[in-house]
Amino acid sequence: MRALVQLSRRGPRDLTLVEDAPRPVPGPGDYLIRVTAAGLNFADAMRAYGRYGDGPCPPYVAGFEAAGEIVGAGPGIADPFPPGTHVIGTGPGAFAPYMTMPAVGALPVPPGRPDAAALGTVLNWATALAALRPLGGLAAGETVLVHAAAGGVGHAAVRLARHYGARVLATASPAKHGTVAALGADAVLDATSPELAADIMELTDGAGVDLVLESVGRATFPVSLTVAKPFLGRVVVYGAASGDATVTTHELVFTHRVQLKGLHIGALATELPSLYRSLLDELDVLTAAGVRPPGGPAVHPLADGPAVLTALAAGRTEGKHALDPWR
């Protein structure tokens, strides 16, 4: 089958379209999925550079988020969905017409919603909701700072934070400020500005913010620690797009007295499945209420994957993007 294969750890430039990748076979507990749309995520770029935790070793069929139709199943699935059910979920090798997907994490596509439009639920929106609520403890009237607000998780976080009654400060590149403001952010700032911390403190009358959603890493992490309120301020870290950042125990005691929390939505789903399920249930309610708007990602042909992923990694995209492996 056609597939995008990552050949090295030199990034998306070595993400190559091949015509002879083997069609996967579902193992115990897995569905075989006919992929209709595969989500592009910053984590795909990190994997391409070999910087994503326990990511796969090249060569491998790239991608891990997809929506599609169940066309087969391995043994050992409790209460399996019937063949023909359209689901969203994660698994190896999403940038191809067929992939395997663990049944335990597969969710039915909501009725009346196109497969592609359901992308983001199990990653972008679940990450944003987890960062804001169970980890971030966001309450109405609080102020939240969302970095990289023009990205997939950032879009979701701004909308969700506004829905829950927060004041939203956001960072994005200047060209994307209009997009982020339209999402409902109260103020949009340039993350590269040397005055970023001072501007945030001015906007909060010197008090700082209650919660920071940190996904940029090295370029913004010192600011995030500086502007979070002493002791009660929370910083939830779920990415490091600009590279890893560090903080010492000495700094946490004597300089940055904040609550620092880490989030990986896949690990949360594995280690706290009941909490993850509650997030998905809440997202169903929010979707029905219109908090998550209709529409879907920008969908590209499979061959465009390397170019789109390169642009995403460089911060030149907005919102959610996906690949159609049949185009």
What is the per-residue pLDDT across 37-89, written as a single tens digit (0 to 9) for each? 999 999 999 999 998 887 899 999 999 999 999 999 999 999 999 999 999 99
pTM for this predicted structure: 0.91
Residues in contact with 227: Cβ distance below 8 Å, sequence separation at least 6, in sequence order: 145, 197, 200, 201, 204, 208, 209, 212, 233
What the block records as the tokens of 256 is 């940055």
The CATH class that applies to domain 124-266 reads alpha beta
CATH 3.40.50.720 range(s) for the chain read: 124-266
Position 55 scores a pLDDT of 84
Q: How far is CA 19 from CA 38, 187, 303, in A?
A: 18, 47, 11
Q: What is the pLDDT of residue 224?
A: 98
Q: Residues 128-158: pLDDT tens digits?
A: 999 999 999 999 999 999 999 999 999 999 9
For 3-119+297-324, the fitting CATH number among 3.30.70.1140, 3.40.50.2300, 3.40.50.800, 3.90.180.10 is 3.90.180.10
Enumerate long-range contacts of 268-272, CB under 8 Å, 24 or more apart.
268/130, 269/105, 269/122, 269/126
The fraction of the chain above a pLDDT of 70, given in percent, is 100
Per-residue pLDDT of 152-202, as tens digits, reads 999 999 999 999 999 999 999 999 999 999 999 999 999 899 999 999 999
pLDDT, tens digit, 9 for 90 and up, residues 263-319: 999 899 889 989 998 999 999 899 888 898 777 899 999 999 999 999 998 889 988
With a cut of 90, say whether residue 233 has pLDDT above it.
Answer: yes
Contact 188, 197 (CB under 8 A): no
pLDDT of residue 112: 82
Per DSSP, 229 falls in state P
Residue ranges of the chain assigned to CATH 3.90.180.10: 3-119+297-324
Q: Which amino acid is at 110?
A: P
Tell me the Ramachandran region of residue 198: left when phi exceeds 0, alpha when psi lies from -120 to 50, beta otherwise.
Answer: alpha
